[in-house]
Structure 1
Amino acid sequence: MSLKHAALTCFSLMALSACGQADPGKAGATSPTYARLLQTLYRNTVPTVQPAALAQELSRPAGPLLLDVRAPAEFKVSHLQGARFVNFDSLAQEKFVGVDRKRPVVVYCSVGYRSERLGERLKSLGFQNVRNLYGGLFEWVNQGYPVYNSQGRTQNVHPYSVLWSPWLKNGRKVYE
């Protein structure tokens, strides 16, 4: 699925939501409409990890390597603490030299579509334990987990585009 097709799918699901067809979901839980969107976007080629499970893993001394595969402006606004930036636009050229192929890796983007592509790339390069953050940064923030920028913890989140912004329920939407 292309990003354009993904955007059309998103628009269709937002239209359903606007018509009263969607349940906003419970606090800390993925909304049913967002879950349907993710189901249409994901190829299920990379296992997912729920935000709560990742938060637990990150509280341990030897947590997974976090790879954020968004645009530079998105990463600058906010990201998971300790995440390494990987530019989606140059993903095909990235070789990940010096990264242990046995180390657990969690990839993420805004909703999980671009990060699933990164996960596929990592698996093709011999990485053995790669997971995609379910629902991406949006779901992480929607469930109340923190994000950071160069100054520290922040409420700011880049919503990728106006079309995707309705899926971000928490945080302060910042387009930079």
Structure 2
Amino acid sequence: MRAWLLSVLSLTLLYTGCSEETKWSAVDRLIETRFSDVSEITTDSLAERLAASDSIVLLDARTLEEYEVSHIPGARRIDPSTTDFSEFDSMGRDAPIVVYCSVGYRSARVADRLQDAGFRNVSNVRGSIFRWVNEGRRVVRGDSTVREVHPYDDTWGDLLNPSLHAYEPGASIKK
């Protein structure tokens, strides 16, 4: 019941004229409550780890359409609804896996499933790609650096700087 109320409150805050900080706090709290067993990593920590090492398995848990607009360099796409992690069977169960999506909800769900499958070193990116790109960090399409990100939808896309919205590769829109 508490998780449901928090979900309703979070969505209400997204639809109202609250500050961006208040909206992010509500979304972060929703994810923390729903996926309390999933470790989180900040965008700052992820940037540091990516700069220091290439041993992280970075997973983008968004749709193919979202991934094709842009993604964090080095990320592999994983279907956000998957329950089959057999492609990772060759990795050790302690391999560092970091998952992100648009704001962190779908990736937290994937991280939770990975943990259920026996992976022990899994983290979800707090704020995911929206926070990453809002902070001015690099995203790519193929080998090219780009500025735009798929906004998922009008509600969640409100957390992404409007100048960064694109629903398909190369087609930026302004709100």
- Short-chain TM bin: 0.7 to 0.9
Match runs of 1:6-155 below 5 Å = 9-16=9-16, 18=17, 21-22=18-19, 24=20, 31-42=21-32, 43-89=35-81, 91-95=82-86, 96-155=88-147
Task: Give the structure-1-normalised TM-score.
Answer: 0.82
**Residue 161 to residue 124, structure 1, CA distance change in 2 (3 Å):** same
Find the aligned partners of 1:141 and 1:164 in 2 and give their Cα distance. 14
**Residue 109 to residue 9, structure 1, CA distance change in 2 (3 Å):** farther
* Backbone CA RMSD of aligned residues: 2.1
2:148 pairs with one of 136, 142, 156: 156
Indicate if the aligned counterparts of 2:67 and 2:77 stay in contact, CA closer than 8 A.
Answer: yes
Q: CA deviation at 1:83?
A: 0.5
Structure 1 gap ranges (5+): 25-30
| 1:111-137: CA deviation from partner (whole Å, max 9, x where unpaired) | 111111111111112111111000111
Indicate if the aligned counterparts of 1:45 and 1:116 stay in contact, CA closer than 8 A.
Answer: no
**Residue 171 to residue 153, structure 1, CA distance change in 2 (3 Å):** farther
**Residue 159 to residue 10, structure 1, CA distance change in 2 (3 Å):** farther
Find the aligned partners of 2:111 and 2:11 in 1 and give their Cα distance. 25
**Residue 78 to residue 36, structure 1, CA distance change in 2 (3 Å):** same
Indicate if the aligned counterparts of 1:13 and 1:37 stay in contact, CA closer than 8 A.
Answer: no
Find the aligned partners of 1:79 and 1:56 in 2 and give their Cα distance. 17
The residue number in structure 1 matching 2:173 is: none
| 1:136-166: CA deviation from partner (whole Å, max 9, x where unpaired) | 1111111121111114111010011122111
Find the aligned partners of 2:114 and 2:101 in 1 and give their Cα distance. 15
Q: Percent identity?
A: 32
Task: Give the structure-2-normalised TM-score.
Answer: 0.83
Indicate if the aligned counterparts of 2:63 and 2:80 stay in contact, CA closer than 8 A.
Answer: yes
Letter in 1 for 2:116: S
What number of residue pairs does the alignment pair up?
162
Indicate if the aligned counterparts of 2:85 and 2:117 stay in contact, CA closer than 8 A.
Answer: no
